[in-house]
Structures are given as C-alpha cells and as structure tokens.
Amino acid sequence: LISGTKNTIYPLQVENFVSLTIHGKNPDGTAKCMDYWKVKMIADNWLASHVFLKHTSELAKVGWDSMVSSNNNAMLSLVFPVLDPLSGDAFELGSRVREILKFETLASQDQAAA
C-alpha cells in the first residue's frame, strides 16, 4: 500500500499504519516488520509467557487473538491516512487501496499455484 500510493496526492507512510507486525521505519523509509511467527511465538511460548516476558507475552496474545484469524491467514491492520475521511480524496484513496489489495491477492494466488 505504501509503494502503491507513493506517487499520488495521498501517499501512505509507515506512520499511517497500526499493525501487530509493523513497528517503525527502516533507514530507507520502508516499514520495519516483525515476522508474524515471532509475534505468535512471544504470545504462545511457555518460557516467554511464564518466565522472561510475561507482560509482553500477555499483550502479544491479546493482540494476536484480536487481530489475526484463527487459521492465521488474515491479519487486521489499521490505516489512518492524513486526510478528511469524507472528502473526494478519501474515497479515491479507498478505491486505490482496493485495487492494490485485489492485485496483491491475485498475485499471491498465482504464486501459490506455481
């Protein structure tokens, strides 16, 4: 979504996203992402949840259970663009995001079939 809106009047930036796996920006400006399995491991690992990272593990588990589907195929990530939500630009951004997600979904299905 960041690269797909880069050359528009409403470019999405890392700061516009809230997600379990996005945690900051890399030096090159791309999103710094944690592998989802690492978040799941912190949430489910016995040592993490009972010995080393009890509070962090509890928060990761609540986040995981709230934002990830039971089969781990979908994750809720929130986008907060800096524009009026009822403006024409907002509706145009919504259309662009749907196009990007449709393209990425079809591309991932083609890769899975290969």
| The pLDDT value given to residue 23 | 78
Say how far apart CA 50 and CA 39 lie, in whole Å: 16
Per-residue pLDDT of the chain (114 residues; tens, 9 = 90+): 888 898 888 899 889 988 877 878 888 878 888 776 776 666 676 565 665 666 666 666 666 777 777 776 777 788 888 889 899 999 999 999 999 999 988 888 877 654
* DSSP per-residue string spanning 23-65: EEE-TTSSEEE--HHHHHHHHH-HHIIIII-HHHHHHHHHHHH
Residue carrying the six token digits 């899975």? 112
| The pLDDT value given to residue 70 | 77
Whether the predicted model's global pTM rises above the 0.85 cut: no
